Amino acid sequence: MARIVMKFGGTSVANLERIHNVARHVKREVDAGHEVAVVVSAMSGKTNELVGWVQDTPKVAGANSPFYDAREYDAVVASGEQVTSGLLSIALQSMGVNARSWQGWQIPIRTDSAHGAARILEIDGSDIIRRMGEGQVAVVAGFQGIGPDNRIATLGRGGSDTSAVAIAAAVKADRCDIYTDVDGVYTTDPRVVPKARRLKKISFEEMLELASLGAKVLQVRSVELAMVHKVRTFVRSSFEDPDAPGMGDLINPPGTLICDEEEIVEQEVVTGIAYAKDEAQISLRRLADRPGVSAAIFGPLAEAHINVDMIVQNISEDGSRTDMTFTVPSGDVQKALKVLEDNKATIGFDVAQNESGLAKVSVIGIGMRSHAGVAALAFKALAEKGINIKAITTSEIKISILIDGAYSELAVRTLHSAYGLDKS
């Protein structure tokens, strides 16, 4: 017998038929004698609809500003998961499974006060553990908790992944299964590279890089939590027949295992290629080269919640002036430029230039730590295809390259082939 947390995303619970299919997956594990908790997202498209209602309400009321209270935003958008948890509990009960729905505040999942993007501070899993021990399935509404003000707080888009891993850690689960519309983690996006392979295992560190650099399989914060608490996490498909051979395998079910590096015997030099479109580059020309100039730039940008990624600084010949180049999401360019202009006197730059329509392509692999020439191979492969590199950043296990957006898919295919990832 094991203790398992199962999470099902929006496409997996998109309608009543799919909710019934999810119930079959859950019943399979219950029938095998396991203690089970389930975390569900809102039905596909429902959160977007609820967010739209919140954003449109002030306009209908004739308000000049689209302002709304973030606490009420959370009260509205959290209702999507509440509906799903109730429906799945009803479906399980109709199959003879003892199930009960739980909201975030009932567990409770305690968060900080950042409504709309709250972070989990603490989970008391004792009540759920007791109920699971009595044979009851806990069906938990993902994406939500309770803040210090005793109000519902949501965890940000994709937050149900984080809910699932956090609950798995709290109840000391043997496994956390993330069911989605894909059957695992691939070496890259199969829509771009048809020869992309499903990985049997991937380390927490590699998955964290993939998730933060463009892969959409898991929310970044959920991978962080899994890594910190050593939660063995499987990415699985909810669209496979629940009773297909191997689906009930406790040790090696179909999908991709995200685990500690020590569990991976044969480490590939490169595990995968990630990419992110809609990147933009901002360059500040002729900055004074003095202590504190970087803080003067990136401090105000951080306060404005603008995510800065790749940073490149050039040193002038006489050491008095420098250029600073960095990337931000394309949607934040105008906001970033305004912040920089407002702080121009403090920063001390001559002109701010920007370029949109760029893409970031990243090569990821824990094997890169012990192999030389990995970066050189990428640069050579891209050069042979005539792809110009605008900026480069590296870490122990990744290389990120900024290029023109028009070449993003060509670059992904080129690098995937260059590192032999399309070979079975």
Mind giving me the DSSP string for 53-64?
HHHHHHHHTT-S
Interatomic CA distance for residues 245 and 219, integer angstroms: 29
Q: Give the pLDDT of residue 125.
A: 93
Interatomic CA distance for residues 279 and 358, integer angstroms: 5
Q: Give the pLDDT of residue 58.
A: 85
Cis peptide preceding 108, ω within 30 of 0:
yes
Q: What is the mean pLDDT of residues 202-208?
A: 93
Q: What is the mean pLDDT of residues 32-49?
A: 96
Q: Give the pLDDT of residue 387.
A: 95
Amino acid at 45: G
Interatomic CA distance for residues 300 and 303, integer angstroms: 5
- Which helix (H) or strand (E) covers residue 129, if one does? helix 126-133
Q: Are 201 and 207 spatial neighbours (Cβ–Cβ below 8 Å)?
A: no
Under the banding of pLDDT at 50, 70 and 90, the label for residue 203 is very high
Q: Give the pLDDT of residue 317.
A: 63
Q: What is the mean pLDDT of residues 37-65?
A: 89
Interatomic CA distance for residues 7 and 233, integer angstroms: 11
Under the banding of pLDDT at 50, 70 and 90, the label for residue 424 is low
Q: What is the mean pLDDT of residues 11-25?
A: 96
Residue whose token pair is 């799945």:
88
Amino acid at 297: I
Cα dist from 163 to 154, 234, 381, whole Å = 10, 15, 41
Percent of the chain with pLDDT over 90: 71
| Higher pLDDT pick, 214 / 316 | 214
Per-residue b/e over 369-383, b at no fewer than 16 CB within 10 Å?
A: eeeeebeebbeebbe
Per-residue pLDDT at 265 exceeds 80: no
Under the banding of pLDDT at 50, 70 and 90, the label for residue 264 is confident
DSSP string covering 96-136, please?
T--EEEE-GGGTTEEE-S-TTS--EEEE--HHHHHHHHTTP
- What angle do the packed helices 79-94 and 70-77 form, to 10 degrees? 20
Under the banding of pLDDT at 50, 70 and 90, the label for residue 319 is low
Q: What is the mean pLDDT of residues 140-163?
A: 94
Q: Please tell me the least confidently modeled range out of 57-66, 93-102, 343-352.
A: 57-66
